Chain A
Amino acid sequence: KQEVTQIPAALSVPEGENLVLNCSFTDSAIYNLQWFRQDPGKGLTSLLLIQSSQREQTSGRLNASLDKSSGRSTLYIAASQPGDSATYLCAVTGAAGNKLTFGGGTRVLVKP
Chain B
Amino acid sequence: DGGITQSPKYLFRKEGQNVTLSCEQNLNHDAMYWYRQDPGQGLRLIYYSQIVNDFQKGDIAEGYSVSREKKESFPLTVTSAQKNPTAFYLCASSGGGTGELFFGEGSRLTVL
Residues of A within 8 A of B (CB): 4, 31-32, 34, 36, 41-46, 49, 51, 89, 91, 93, 97-100, 102-105
A104 touches B106 (CB 8 A): no
Contact partners of A97 in chain B: CB under 8 A: 99
Q: Does B17 contact A (CB under 8 A)?
A: no
Closest B residue to A104 by beta carbon equals B42
A32 touches B99 (CB 8 A): yes
Q: Write out, one digit per residue, whether chain B residues 1-12 have a CB within 8 A of any chain A CB (1) or not (0).
A: 000101000000
Q: What 4 A-B pairs have minimum CB-CB distances, sorted nearest first?
A: A43-B103, A44-B103, A102-B43, A102-B42
Distance from A5 Cβ to chain B, minimum over Cβ atoms (Å): 10
B80-112 interface with A by 8 A CB criterion = 88, 90, 92, 98-106, 108
Distance between Cα atoms of A85 and B24 in the complex (Å): 29
Distance between Cα atoms of A103 and B92 in the complex (Å): 17
Known: A98-B31, A98-B50, A99-B58. A46 touches B45 (CB 8 A): no
Distance from B39 Cβ to chain A, minimum over Cβ atoms (Å): 11
Distance from B102 Cβ to chain A, minimum over Cβ atoms (Å): 6
Interface centre among A41, A43, A44, A103 (most CB of B within 10 A): A43
A49 touches B100 (CB 8 A): yes
Residues of B within 8 A of A (CB): 4, 6, 31, 33, 35, 40-43, 45, 48, 50, 58, 88, 90, 92, 98-106, 108
Distance from B70 Cβ to chain A, minimum over Cβ atoms (Å): 20
A98 touches B90 (CB 8 A): no
Q: Could you jot down 10 A-B contacts, CB within 8 Å?
A: A36-B103, A41-B108, A42-B105, A43-B90, A46-B102, A49-B98, A49-B99, A97-B99, A102-B35, A104-B42
B48 touches A91 (CB 8 A): no
Contact partners of B100 in chain A: CB under 8 A: 32, 34, 46, 49
B42 touches A89 (CB 8 A): yes
B106 touches A42 (CB 8 A): yes
Distance between Cα atoms of A46 and B93 in the complex (Å): 12
Contact partners of A105 in chain B: CB under 8 A: 42
